[in-house]
Amino acid sequence: MIALGAKKLGQRPGPDAASAPAGAATAPVTQNRTRFDAATRAEAIHLDHIGAATDSEFQTLAASADSARDARRWADAEYHYWRALELYPFHSGYRIQYAHVIKEQGKLDWAEVHYRSAVAEGAQSSLVDEHLLFVAQRNGATFARDSKLDLEVAQFEAPPTFHDIQTLAWLFWHHSEINAHDALAVLRACASNRDVALAMIRHPRFVEHNRSFLEIMRG
């Protein structure tokens, strides 16, 4: 069993709290389609990049984040990148920038979470691996890129991102707030979202938050 913490889940980084990714630009795009229509993770990533490029709200948030980053206003940059990624969570380029400004504030655990997520979103090795290895080592871990990373798979079989972990936590534990310790435990150990789902089902939190459902299933 993955060593998830037993305490109540903490807050994800939030208000305080780009290049195309490898393997993500192969799927055809249909007007008005979003990642929710995607058959594969590669297509979902591709659709998020297309949507972000034409969404004025995202562009405004990204520009504000970039400006704050360039002025070394790290907390402001964090806030605006976070807001942008709430709209398009599979945009690895801005996920990396988000991790950078978190790292600059000394939040190395959260930086590792988001660098690992960027890798799972298909970010190119030259853009993320050096940074991820640095923070992973500072956090007492390591990192080696999986040479067989495949994004042309169903999203349930894709490598997990922080967005996926939040989504599955909502499904199985009925809330999406998750702390860095638990997010890292999952990202380091689980090769796919299927593995994440199994780990969450096996955790005592699943029973704690699904007693009524389990009583019905037990008959």
Domain ranges of the chain: 35-218
Cα→Cα distances 136→1, 51, 115, 139, Å: 21, 31, 9, 5
pLDDT at position 33: 87
pLDDT at 1: 46
Distance (Å, whole) CA 126 – CA 137: 18
DSSP 71: T
Supply the pLDDT for residue 5: 53
The reported pLDDT for the residue numbered 153 is 97
What residue spans of 18-161 are helical by DSSP H? 41-54, 56-70, 74-87, 92-104, 108-120, 125-138
Domain 35-218 is found in CATH 1.25.40.10:
yes
Task: Supply the pLDDT for residue 48.
Answer: 97
**pLDDT at site 147:** 84
Give the per-residue pLDDT at 51. 96
Contacts of 81 (CB under 8 A, 6+ apart): 61, 62, 65, 94, 97, 98, 101
Task: List per-residue pLDDT tens for the chain, 219 residues long.
Answer: 455 554 333 334 444 434 445 544 444 444 688 999 999 999 999 999 999 999 999 999 999 999 999 999 999 999 999 999 999 999 999 999 999 999 999 999 999 999 999 999 999 999 999 999 999 999 999 999 988 899 999 999 999 999 999 999 999 998 778 899 999 999 999 999 999 999 999 988 888 888 888 888 776
**What is the reported pTM?**
0.83
Which amino acid, residue 83?
R
Instruction: State the pLDDT at residue 201.
Output: 92
Model pLDDT, residue 209: 85
Cβ–Cβ under 8 Å, residues 87 and 127: no
